[in-house]
Chains A and B, each alone.
Chain A
Amino acid sequence: MRVSKFDRPYESGRPERHQLRVENISLSFGGVRALTDVSLTCEPGEILAIIGPNGAGKTSMLNCICGLYHPQKGRIMYGNHNLARTSSHHLPKMGIARTFQNIELFRHMTVLNNLMLGRHVHMKKNILTALLYWGWAEREEIENRRFVEHVIDLLEIQHIRKQMVGSLAYGLQKRVELGRALAMNPGLILLDEPMAGMNVEEKEDMARFILDINEEWGITTILIEHDMGVVMDISDRVAVLEFGRLIGIGTPDEVRENPDVIRAYLGQDHGGRS
């Protein structure tokens, strides 16, 4: 019996969740110091927001966690793995998924196929079975399709299932990108500005989805967002970056009171993206 559509499909199993420990990482590009000696932890099941002005190093931080950038100094521990020394394509196996600031979907694929690609690491059949298709590969496709349909229901994108992603409105693309990450059945999800460029209604929907997957699926969430209202509303803790340094971390209330943060960030115009 399905109690709610937010339950994970029982056959897929729960991914392991670990504490994420970022330990003293520094990252620079030539002379540009994107991150300087940043340390923070993220507990299993929490929603941690990373905020900071443009160019503060938020995206670089996510890129370090998911293996796209390799920091010159420091470690990023997730379970027993040092993510700072891991290539990106190994992360999904550890249950880590992400979305991108500038939507990096597969534009010439349907929504369904984008989500099916999220299942990639769960699909093991080799090239010979793939060429024959009928039998093993087909069975694997169907099993994984079931999980994907669950995500489609959850995000309410049934009506665009067969559409090419490139032809969709911006807000919907953001939602599909979240869906692709969810299809992986992750334990930790990294969201880079999931609500940027959305109208109020779309933002509300997205905030609801983020809370739902966190509460019902138990996914640890690290989220970058400029909309302070949303951030203070939905996150358990907030980390603040400025010029590549961590200047504060704590509950929304603590961060609101932190003088460094007030000076650096909240004191300025914080109506949204510049």
Chain B
Amino acid sequence: MMATTQCGVFHESYRSDMQLRPTTWQRLRVVVVFAFIIILPFVASAQNLRIANTVVIAAIGAIGLNILVGYTGQISLGQGAFLAVGAYSTGLLMHYYELPWPIALVLGALITAMFGAVFGIPSLRLKGLYLAVATLAAQQIVGWFVRNWDPIDGTKADGAARELSMPRALFFGDKLNDSEFAFYVVGMIALVIVAVVATNLFRTHIGRAFVAIRDQDIAAEVMGVNVFQYKLVAFATSSFFVGLAGGLTAVHSTNISFERFTIDVSIEYLAMIIIGGLGSISGSIYGAAFVKLLPEILRDVGLWIADQGWLASGQLDQYLPFAEDAAFGLAIILTLIFEPEGIVKLWSDLKAYFRLWPFSY
């Protein structure tokens, strides 16, 4: 029954009031989500599971970026670089020190956190677009290092971008870069943990301080928030999760190369959190899913059109990249116009509608 409305909920203690899922209805939603997560790998094809895995990684990275951009209000164009730092440090730790992959993943994320904090220092002076340009420096520096730093290269083909071949990462006997199922288990556990701890963060004074900095940094300072220190903490926390996403990308691959961490990737991630909803954990996940699934759906549609004989076979590959770009652009513009707070807002509007249904007015 949906007859109960939110105003019917009363809390007996501050503790229960502060709980995340106070109503039965919300608890039910959690059960449905978990059922979906558990059933998916058993029914999806390997191909679809691979797509799901890219969504899982992107969701972790998007949560990280949203902590910085959506919650703390510090625009970053360095996402690609932070992902690269996570991927390469994880990869190198496994390659040279033969560390077990879970340890390499955590260390890689920690290294990225430190790296992020360093690139957060300009935020002392710079705001908005100026800060974004400063984070672009991270992108350039990392790009240069990866292309010129010898330890990274596996087999170099005269000056061409080098690749780091990933050592085996085993999970109960399955290779993570081979078995999509094994990776799904690892990645999904990581995503659930990241989503939960990120949500927790914003129930505490630290997360509140982040949001306060975004909304009104002078007032935050006067209320006792050391704004600069907290900005650095935000950069580090955000980069930790982004680094984790980068590390997961590494263990999911047979080799890593810099093409996967360019400025385009930074922009793709910004699209995820704008479409999903700035300042929302679940929005980050919806946004990641949207951005990663859209090209797949476009491809399927394209194939269907080609099947109908409306396109010559070569033309599809020719048009698809344009169609993708156009679709992204359109999605972002539509979001900004109609639902500036993203998919999450759409969902809560829908809920509000049904809560009052059939008496909505």
B29 to chain A, nearest CB (A): 20
Count contacts on A: residues with CB < 8 A to the other chain. Answer: 45
Residues A184 and B224 in contact in the complex (CB < 8 Å), given A104-B218, A130-B200: yes
* B260 contacts the other chain (CB 8 A): no
Residues of A within 8 A of B223 (CB): 92, 97, 117-118, 120-121, 180, 184
Task: Give the interface segment out of B56-64, B225-233, B291-299.
Answer: B225-233
Looking at chain B's contact residues, the main secondary structure is: helix
Of A68, A120, A133, the residue contacting B203 (CB under 8 A) is A133
Which residue of A has the minimal Cβ distance to B217? A104
The digit string for B32-73, where 1 denotes a CB below 8 A from any CB of A, is: 000000000000000000000000000000000000000000
Q: Are B201 and A120 in contact (CB under 8 A)?
A: no
Contact digits for A118-129, partner B, Cβ 8 Å, 1 yes 0 no: 111101010100
Looking at the assembled complex, report how far the CB atom of B125 sits from the nearest CB atom of chain A, in whole angstroms. 15
Of the candidates A89, A90, A109, A141, the one whose C-beta lies within 8 Å of that of B18 is: A141
Are A108 and B14 touching (Cβ within 8 A)?
A: no
At the interface, yes or no: A247 with Cβ under 8 Å from chain B? no
> Does B204 contact A133, Cβ atoms closer than 8 Å?
yes
A209 CB-CB contact with B under 8 Å? no
In the complex, the answer to whether B215 meets A107 with C-beta atoms within 8 Å is yes
B224–A105 CB distance below 8 A: no
Known: A89-B221, A92-B223, A131-B200. A117 touches B208 (CB 8 A): yes
Shortest Cβ gap from A266 to chain B (Å): 32
Q: Is the CB of A130 within 8 A of B204?
A: yes
Which of A142-150, A196-204, A221-229, A238-246 lies on the face that meets chain B? A142-150
Q: A108-B279, A109-B215, A127-B233 are in contact. Are A120 and B208 (CB under 8 A)?
A: yes
Is A100 an interface residue when CB atoms closer than 8 A count as contact? Answer: yes
Which of A68, A121, A127, A142 has the most chain B CB atoms closer than 10 A to its own CB? A127
Query: Contact at A106–B216, with CB atoms within 8 Å?
Result: yes
Q: Is the CB of A133 within 8 A of B200?
A: yes
Contacts across chains A and B counted by CB atoms under 8 Å? 118
B219 in the interface, Cβ–Cβ < 8 Å?
A: yes
Q: A198–B279 Cα gap in the complex (Å)?
A: 33
Nearest opposing residue in chain B for A104, CB measure:
B219
In the bound complex, what is the Cα–Cα distance between A272 and B33 (angstroms)?
A: 59
Contact partner, B226, options A89, A107, A109, Cβ 8 Å: A89
Name the residue on B nearest A98 (C-beta).
B222
| CB-CB nearest in chain A for B209 | A120
Assess A127 versus B205: contact at CB under 8 Å? Given A68-B218, A104-B219: no
| Contact A117 B212, CB 8 Å, known A92-B223, A106-B219, A142-B15 | yes
Chain A, 137-187, CB within 8 A of any chain B CB:
137-138, 140-142, 144-146, 149, 180, 184
Known A127-B206, A133-B204: A142·B221 in contact at CB below 8 Å? no
Tell me the bound Cα distance from A131 to B203 in angstroms. Answer: 9
B275 at the interface (CB under 8 A from A): no
Q: Are B237 and A116 in contact (CB under 8 A)?
A: no
Residues of A near B237 (CB, < 8 A) are: 127
Q: Is B170 an interface residue (CB 8 A)?
A: no
- On chain A, the residues within 8 Å of B218 by CB distance are 68, 88, 104
How many whole Å from A113's CB to the nearest CB in chain B?
6
Residues of B190-211 contacting chain A, CB below 8 A: 197-198, 200-201, 203-209, 211
Across-interface contacts of B203 in A (CB, < 8 A): 133, 137, 141
Q: How far is the CA of A150 from the CA of B322 in the complex (A)?
A: 59
Report A219 CB to chain B, min CB distance, Å: 16
Chain B residues within 8 Å of A119, by CB:
205
User: How near does chain B come to A165, taking the closest CB pair, in angstroms?
Assistant: 9
Q: In the docked arrangement, what's the CA distance between A67 and B222, Å?
A: 8
Tell me which residues from 2 to 18 in chain B have a Cβ below 8 Å from any Cβ of chain A. Answer: 14-15, 18
Q: In the assembly, what is the distance between CA of A109 and CA of B202, in Å? A: 11
Q: Is the CB of A137 within 8 A of B219?
A: no
**Closest CB of chain A to B222's CB: distance in Å?**
5
Which residue of the partner chain, among B207, B214, B225, B226, contacts A130 with CB atoms under 8 Å? B207
Interface residues of A (CB under 8 A from B): 66-68, 87-93, 97-98, 100, 104-109, 113, 116-121, 123, 125, 127, 130-134, 137-138, 140-142, 144-146, 149, 180, 184
Give 7 nearest A-B pairs by CB, closest first.
Answer: A92-B224, A133-B200, A121-B224, A123-B205, A104-B219, A106-B215, A131-B197
Q: Which residues of B contact A (CB under 8 A)?
A: 14-15, 18, 197-198, 200-201, 203-209, 211-212, 214-216, 218-227, 233, 237, 279
6 pairs, A vs B, C-beta closer than 8 Å: A66-B222, A107-B215, A113-B208, A118-B223, A142-B18, A184-B223
Extra contacts besides A108-B211, A133-B201, A137-B200 (9): CB < 8 Å: A88-B221, A105-B219, A116-B205, A117-B208, A117-B225, A132-B200, A133-B200, A138-B15, A140-B205
